[in-house]
A and B are shown apart, each in its own frame.
Chain A
C-alpha cells in the first residue's frame, strides 16, 4: 500500500508529540554546548530531531516536532515566544518530511543522500524564512539579516543535521521492523 505523507492519524499525533517533547528536552539539556570562540551561540544538536521525525513519519509530524518543540524549549528556558523562529524550526522538519513516502530503507546510501539533500534544503528555507521575518518585525536590513541571523543559524543547524540525521536513520532502520507497521 502506498504511504501518504499527509495522513494525520493516531500514530502521527503521538509521534508529533514525542518529537516536539524530545526536541525541547534535548535542546534544553545540551544548552551547555557552545560554538568554539563564539560565545552566546548554542550548538543545539536537537535540531536533528524534527528533521529525522519528518523523514520517518512525514512532513506534518516533522513540522509539529520543530514548531512545537521550539516553543516548548523556549518556554522551559524562559526565552518567551518567537513565532517566526518557531515557524522556521517547523519548516526544518517539514521539508525533509516531503521524502518520507519515497524511502523504503533507512540505511542504504541513496536514501541517506536524499535525506541529506532535503536536510540542507530544509535548513536553508526554514532559517531563511525566520531570518527574513526579522526585516518585518525588527526593521533589520538584508545585510544584518544575512550575516546577523541567517548565517549563524544555518551553519550549526546544517552541521548538526548532516551528522546526526544519518546516524538516527541507521539506528531507526534496526528498530523499524520491530514496530510491525
Chain B
C-alpha cells in the first residue's frame, strides 16, 4: 500500500513563512471570520483567505478533492438549511422578510399554488455563508499541500505544546509509512489464505465484520512493536531532559509581520464586534431594491 503526503516543496510566497507564524495566522483568521455575518466583513476575510490560498502555489488539480468536499457540504447547508428549511438560519436572519414568491408558486397539473417561505434576506444569508465558509476553507484546505510533515512536531513544540506531546506528533508522522507497509503485508497474507479484499460487500455490519481479519492483526502487531520502541526509548532516557529537534525553526521579519497582522485581524474583529457592536447580519439596500420591494 502506498501512502503519500500531499505536500511537496513549492517555491511559493507562503513557504517563506515560519510554520508557527502560519498556524497563528490560520487560527486567528478562523476566530475572526466566525464572529461576523456582515457581508462587508466576510468579503474582506474571503479576499484575505483566497490571497493566502493562492500564495501557497498549489494548483486546483492538487486541491480539487478538498474543494469537492467543501462544495458538497456548502451545497447541502445552503440548499437544506437556508433555502428549503429556512430554520431561522441559526437565529441569524430575523423572522419575516421579503418573500421571493409572494403570490406562491403555481403547481403544474393542479389548480393550486405552493406558498414557499423563501425570502430575499435568506438568499443574502446564503451569499454570506458562501463568503464565510469559502474563506475559512481556503485557509485550512491549503495546509496539507504547503506544510512539510517533518516539521509538525517542532512547530507545535514551538507553539507551546509540551515536549512529550510534540514528540508523539512527530512519531505519528514517522509511523505512517511503516504501518501502511504492515497493512499491505497483512492484506497480502490474508489474500494468500483466500481472503478477497475486493469482495467486502453486503450490509454495513457484514462489511465491518469482514474487515476484522485485516484490522486485528495490524493493530496487535503495532502494539507489540510499540513495546519494543518504548523499551528502547526508556533505555535512552527519553523524557529526562528537554529534547533537541532535527529541524530548527527561526522567526524572521516576515513572520513577525504575519503574526502582527494576525493579531490585528483578531483584535480588530473583537473590537468591532463586541466594542462597537457592528458586524451582525446585514442586508444591503441595493439587494432589496433589486427585487423592487
Q: CB within 8 Å of B: which residues of A?
A: 8-18, 20-22, 24-26, 28-30, 33, 35-36, 40, 43, 45-46, 48-49, 52, 64, 68-69, 72, 74-83, 134-144, 148, 156, 159-160, 163-164, 167-168, 171-172, 175, 178-181
Contact = CB atoms under 8 A, between A and B. Distances in A.
Contact of B220 (A14, A28, A72, A171): A171
A21 B136 contact: no
B287 interface: no
B223 A172 contact: yes
Given A14-B226, A25-B176, A137 B216 contact: no
Given A76-B4, A159-B208, A178-B224, A17 B171 contact: yes
Given A36-B203, A68-B169, A181-B227, A163 B209 contact: yes
Q: Is the interface of A mostly helix, strand, loop or mixed?
A: helix
Interface string B53-90: 00000000011011001101100110011000101111
A48 B216 CA distance: 11
Contacts of B233: 10, 13-14
Contacts of B169: 17, 20, 68
B149 interface: yes
Nearest to B84: A144
Contacts of A14: 168, 171, 226, 229-230, 233
10 contacts: A13-B164, A79-B66, A137-B30, A141-B87, A159-B205, A163-B209, A168-B219, A171-B219, A179-B223, A180-B227
Given A9-B239, A17-B171, A43-B207, A29 B180 contact: yes
A40 B227 CA distance: 38
Central interface residue in B37, B77, B225, by most chain A CB within 10 Å? B77
Contacts of A12: 164, 168
